[in-house]
Amino acid sequence: MFTEDLIQRLRDNGLNVRDIRGLLPRNGTWMLRPLSAIKRIAVHYDAENRPHAYDSLERYKNEAQYHINKDWGGGAHGDGIMYHIIVDNVGDVFFCRDFEDVTWHVGNPNYSAVAVKFDGTEGQEPTREQAESAQKVFEVLCYRCPEFPALQGDLWGHREFVQFGGNSTACPGLFIELPIGYRDNRDTNADRYPYDYPPAQPAPIPEPQLEPVPEPEPVPESPIEEPIPEPQEPSVQPIENNIEVSMLLTKIKSLLGSLRFWIVTLTYIVAILSAIAAGGLTLEVFFKITQIWLGAVVGIGTLDSISEKLGAAKK
């Protein structure tokens, strides 16, 4: 029951966990313990080269078979893979053994330690993915498993178990920085390691292409309006010019008057002669004709009216 709860706790902490306990070779179970006996967490590598691409499950099947076939001393062979949890190059977590199973991985302290192994060998650093998953695995084991007493200060690399009576070894190589960083600062410093498979980066957002702003069409120049001439007051001709015009008009008027006089006089004479020829020139007629002539001379009536009056006087 605890194993299923632990797997769920790991998943809840953002890990991709595969339970492969039933897929690995086994050779029985040699020893069990209560969870309360777990006082330390041991970090290992498997001392096998970690390629960029590989089949993780196949690798662990081969390791399990190797541990079964291996003579651990005195003709003793293992009961299966000796790691409880394995983290591969891309940070996937594989659950391999129940925590109640006592496995052979650090020597004398085996009974009180669980084994967490990372794929890699001497000279290989953890991948960024492994270091990020280590941070999450350690968080769960040290702070979310009240079933056993192992805490942050109880996280050690395999070779550090010498102080607890463990065997001497180079394991876990450069992976030692993971338990040291977490034990001292609760940080595996994952950002110091390169990714084995960098996460897909979002496609760059294309910058918006600005439409070229068309240049404004030139505004046609408005025709230059001719200034409206201000009304000019009639110019006053010089006094000399006015006098000359007045004199000219007087002369014309005088000539017209003379012409009128002679026409009227000629008409008067014709009227007298006509009356004499008709034998009707009486004193009365003479005075009428003469009166009409005098009126015409002084400007009374038009020439037509004068002619009509003279004709009437003759009768």
Write out pLDDT tens, residues 208-223: 776 776 777 776 666 6
Query: 55-71: per-residue pLDDT in tens?
Result: 999 999 999 999 999 99
- The rounded radius of gyration (Å) of the Cα atoms in the chain is 69
pLDDT at 82 over 50: yes
Task: Clarify whether residues 31 and 162 are in a common domain.
Answer: yes
Give the separation between CA 251 and CA 257, rounded to whole angstroms.
10
Q: pLDDT band for 180, please (50, 70, 90 cuts).
A: very high
Task: Say what the pLDDT of residue 228 is.
Answer: 67
Rounded average pLDDT over 188-213: 81
pLDDT at 119 over 90: yes
Task: Clarify whether residues 63 and 128 are in a common domain.
Answer: yes
Last residue of a domain, one of 192, 227, 254: 192
pLDDT at 51 over 80: yes
- 167, HSE (Cβ side, Cα atoms, 13 Å): 12
Query: In degrees rounded to 5, what are phi and psi of residue 284?
Result: -65, -45
Rounded average pLDDT over 23-39: 95
In a domain, 204, yes or no: no
Strands 85-87 and 93-95, bridge-based pairing: antiparallel
Instruction: Check if the beta carbon of residue 107 is closer than 8 Å to that of residue 167.
Output: yes
Task: Clarify whether residues 287 and 147 are in a common domain.
Answer: no
pLDDT at 5 over 90: yes
What distance lies between CA 77 and its chain's CA centroid? 66
Q: What is the mean pLDDT of the chain?
A: 85
What CATH number should be reported for the domain holding residue 20? Answer: 3.40.80.10
Q: pLDDT band for 239, please (50, 70, 90 cuts).
A: very low
Q: State if pTM tops 0.75.
A: no
In a domain, 294, yes or no: yes
Range of the domain at 124: 2-192
Task: Say what the pLDDT of residue 72 is.
Answer: 92
Tally the domains of the chain. 2
- pLDDT: which is higher, 175 or 249: 175
Last residue of a domain, one of 192, 227, 258: 192
- pLDDT: which is higher, 315 or 208: 208
Task: Clarify whether residues 121 and 44 are in a common domain.
Answer: yes
In a domain, 209, yes or no: no
In a domain, 216, yes or no: no
What whole-number percentage of the chain has pLDDT above 70?
A: 76
Task: Say what the pLDDT of residue 257 is.
Answer: 61
Task: Say what the pLDDT of residue 115 is.
Answer: 98
In a domain, 215, yes or no: no
Separation of first and last alpha carbons in the chain: 168
Q: pLDDT band for 315, please (50, 70, 90 cuts).
A: low
Task: Clarify whether residues 167 and 276 are in a common domain.
Answer: no
Give the separation between CA 279 and CA 270, rounded to whole angstroms.
14
Q: Which secondary-structure segment (H or E) carries 18? A: strand 17-19
Task: Clarify whether residues 81 and 156 are in a common domain.
Answer: yes
In a domain, 202, yes or no: no
pLDDT at 120 over 90: yes
What single DSSP character describes residue 165?
T
Q: Which residues touch 134 (CB under 8 Å, ≥6 apart)? A: 87, 116, 118, 126, 178, 182, 188, 190
Last residue of a domain, one of 161, 177, 192: 192
Query: 266-299: per-residue pLDDT in tens?
Result: 776 877 787 787 776 677 777 777 777 667 666 6
Give the separation between CA 243 and CA 272, rounded to whole angstroms.
43
Rounded average pLDDT over 124-136: 98
Task: Say what the pLDDT of residue 309 is.
Answer: 57
